[in-house]
Structure 1
């Protein structure tokens, strides 16, 4: 297969573009099964999660269909209105890139909140976790409480640039690729685990321990990344 080894830069877009070109040239015809995720990762020299992001991008764009327990198949686009690929202007950030960026930025906001945050900031974090618990108890996805928690942390830093940066991370979750990743990989069980991770961050901030707060946030983001890198829950691409 004429695939090229990729540099670790904008990986999911590069992968999606190569697959899009191969589909356009007929390398993969309508109804053909795209090679397994693990095989694509090996041929391209990238990680399986990066391939997964690319496949989901192609699914969102209508190039492929992910079928439960079977694989990823090429769709007939002959009667469709061409949609701008994800490489066009206004490109969506890759979900895994966002998580890695959040790890760097929010690790420091957590440490700063532990050092300089006020009681009102800690109280806002407690209310946010309470909201998460209440929503989860009603079997509702606690996105609102999750967002409130992370914004309470960055607000404690009293820096509008940091606040707008973290808000930007949250707005990115509404993009179609991130939303589809959430649909595939987040469950109420994973949210219960995540709430526990938030509680550890809060404990470190309330104890005014910057190093522990940074470490707890890094641990949370690492596990968040792992959840998006785990086996497909509803579908199989390999």
Structure 2
């Protein structure tokens, strides 16, 4: 069974190709790291996977339902934490209220606190809780921890791993922070110039490119994309 399956996936914005003839076959049960330089097509791929935009050509299939956390971890500033949970319950038939309330308590969020007064790390934790409480088959996260300090980022990543284990879900994490990818991801996709440069289990890729580190492996494939 596959989390993501793409064949000749192409997305154009006018004359510019954000993705071009991409093939992917990502098996389920992984936390997938999606990396690449700015303009490589990462956000476009994630938006396609969430159904927010349509491909120009080709196909993309996603296993089951999706929970999405965007880069700016959007929440409603005037809503309290509890308001967000009530809204999630109202909008999502599969909403797991017990999971949401427990995770809010575990990360120390005050249900009465307005979201606009939360720290960046707290907003990220709230956005992740809202996505996970839908009980999706796949969590998709677009640079959710980029603006967080190291402690908040580490807490966010630990929460992500905990949700994946509890839900039995897969996850795709886009990040420029290769240390974050190395910390939690066991499958890697490198995009460059709108194409898939390499995709596979992290251990296998590192074994095939000894003695390269993950960072060296990614930078090597990025430089190859630029050189083409």
Q: Which of these two proteins has the greater Rg computed from alpha carbons?
A: 1
Normalised by the size of structure 2, how large is the TM-score?
0.29
* Richer in strand (by share): 2
